[in-house]
Structure 1
């Protein structure tokens, strides 16, 4: 143990780190940008280049063979020897298989996230925030109704333009959620006058709470750096978790299984209002496009899909033959006297904008005798009442759906059920 502590202390003294949010905290809505009095103390620098421990790498970060190596070469946050960081490093070292699980989940996602962070000129450490938030689980839910890889609340998601409806939740979409999270972090960085530790703490617990903590310390004549602030327990440990993970990566204290530094996914166009008529052929899309709550119904979201790179050409050929007339997933409806788009939409479990999208309508005007195309999904919704002996696993098996989807449909963060509780279940057509 003494040898391990010496190793940790040495590593901390040589490396650089940062902070991130936890999956169970509330992100508050950004306010207007005021002028802060002055930068905080030791953690106020936005990018503090490290003293080089080794010779400069032979390749540029973008030319590295491994995405983890690409991140490692760009770590720039100031080092920390705080006990909370040391304690978290010890935790990681006691769980040597943890990073294997993380790398497996991150494999299709990390290259994209790193590239987006680099495009914006943000600290590369932010690429590790999904590790701290959700262990790279795109379908994670918190008890505060935060959701997705970046644990965005409905308030923040809608503020940054994400779509949330019964068919689609942009917080669980890689593209939408990453854009919103990085927009939010950029705002917070400006809000806290370039202090990344404060910004990341605010991402976790809300900017108002961090501002009050800073003001209270300033009034009492105390330091205002992150570690001196009186913040909620989860937030006090949030930044150290990120710093510890960063230092483990930078100093290579434990293995991070390699992820090829090449694009694993691409974005392809999606015909509007698509319901896949061969869901088994494209089942892998469900894991990469978790924003769609009722796969294989790709409705209510953006006109694009995240696709494995090697499947893009096959998809292009597939979309050329998608049925344009009603198939087993679609039905034809003849407009009757007294009908309106709102009446029809309500009857079939969709909204007016979706109904217009399905039928490429540019106005709300409809005529008696015209036909509308509708998805056959309204009859597939089931309300299940939890009874004694039930579990999420048992219910998911009974209806041949995943536990993650059960949680998504019912916005559940917990895994326990209460007798009499009613669950909504959507069965694929």
Structure 2
């Protein structure tokens, strides 16, 4: 299976991308003497002997600083990036503000796996710690995971939830992928991180090209895309600035900022005041306030964990996993719509954040669809709503409702959404 995955990635090296970039050192990163050492590449997961750090430090940036292991680099591309950072003194202020809820979580996950602490700086390079970052190559989230990589590492992507923007799912997938790449490139972290940016196939080909010509295979000697040649220098430059205290990294408190609570069933948060506090911590849920079809967890402020747990436990459970948008028509009322869809008026109001029973023609409501399969059906010559309904054992009214059709007229080539049940 892994061999197949490697071949797939080799053929799809352009699918993985990062955000912006600049260049790095003439040798693979080597740990400093008497500090963490990278384990042999024969290990499935790369490990580093833990550096002792002051657990009482009150700043996450200083916690990272005390554990930096990659050797300082004098390469011109690294120094060019250092100068860029220094010429943009407000940059780290913006980064720190965005990273405040998430950085400690990322640091702890890196530490728990025994990986180099520099990896905790990668969201800074990938996305500027913007959870909603999205690239033209379809990479998304803090770690800029592509759909290919995300799905391979078990990250869920549905119309309701994109785990690439979830701090928990995305961080675990990114570190799993980096650990794999570290082994894949024989323990060379520069090569592994470059492969994370541009794809392992492209890095492997660049290494092979130099080997065949008797050239150095150090990162800085490889022929790689411009973005990737600038990628590791950004990382090393940020680490250098932190190590040498050349630039202010605004303090991020070194205490737990978020808690990850179990969420066994989908819910829709029923007050604006409640869900707005969670939206920035749970950007993976793409249709707030609906927490549907996601993982079995929710991220909340640590100091309010018990209150949130009680609050979520009292919310009504969702009656199904598939949903539709229903357009309100003349003669509709909440009671009529609820009865038609086997719901209570209370459920209907909760799903749609309604504070009263008043509805307007033309507005849309969120309704559950109890179905086992969603099918996109292309209308063909000779089709009619009646013929399609009969073929799939559904009703004409259901087809019209699912597709917001006001008439029975169909056009060849149109696509209809059908929700089918096995029973």
Q: Which bracket does the TM-score occupy, shorter chain normalised?
A: 0.5 to 0.7
Cα distance change of structure 1 residues 163 and 270 upon mapping to structure 2, 3 Å threshold: same
Is the contact made by 1:300 and 1:354 (CA closer than 8 Å) also made in structure 2?
no
Of 212, 215, 229, which aligns to 1:219?
Answer: 212
Equivalent residue number for residue 194 of structure 2: 201
Of 4, 27, 45, which aligns to 2:16?
Answer: 27
Q: Distance in 2 between matches of 1:325 and 1:108?
A: 29
Where structure 2 has 5 or more consecutive residues not aligned to the other structure, the ranges are 1-12, 18-24, 36-51, 320-333, 344-365, 375-400, 405-423
Deviation per CA, 1:231-263, whole angstroms, max 9, x where unpaired? 000000001010000000010101001111111
Q: TM-score, normalised by structure 2?
A: 0.67
Deviation per CA, 1:116-147, whole angstroms, max 9, x where unpaired? 00000000000100000110001110000001
Deviation per CA, 1:365-405, whole angstroms, max 9, x where unpaired? xxxxxxxxxxxx9899xxxxxxxxxxxxxxxxxxxxxxxxx
Aligned ranges for residues 277-288 of structure 1 at < 5 Å? Answer: 277-288=270-281
Measure how far apart 1:102 and its partner are. 0.5
Aligned ranges for residues 82-161 of structure 1 at < 5 Å? Answer: 82-161=75-154
Aligned ranges for residues 157-236 of structure 1 at < 5 Å? Answer: 157-236=150-229
Asked whether 1:74 is paired with 2:71, we answer no
Q: Distance in 1 between matches of 2:95 and 2:342?
A: 51
Asked whether 1:294 is paired with 2:287, we answer yes
Where structure 1 has 5 or more consecutive residues not aligned to the other structure, the ranges are 1-23, 29-40, 53-58, 336-346, 356-376, 381-429
Runs of 4 or more consecutive aligned structure 1 residues displaced over 6 Å after TM superposition? 377-380
The 3-state SS of whatever aligns with 1:259 is coil
Cα distance change of structure 1 residues 90 and 44 upon mapping to structure 2, 3 Å threshold: closer
Equivalent residue number for residue 406 of structure 1: none
Q: Distance in 2 between matches of 1:259 and 1:43?
A: 32
Cα distance change of structure 1 residues 141 and 77 upon mapping to structure 2, 3 Å threshold: same
Q: Distance in 1 between matches of 2:292 and 2:224?
A: 41
Measure how far apart 1:321 and its partner are. 2.8
Give 1 or 2 for the bigger CA radius of gyration.
2
Q: Distance in 1 between matches of 2:316 and 2:154?
A: 31
Q: Distance in 2 between matches of 1:214 and 1:132?
A: 23
Higher relative contact order (CA 8 A, sep 6+): 1
Is the contact made by 2:267 and 2:316 (CA closer than 8 Å) also made in structure 1?
no
Of 245, 250, 256, which aligns to 1:263?
Answer: 256
Aligned length: 305
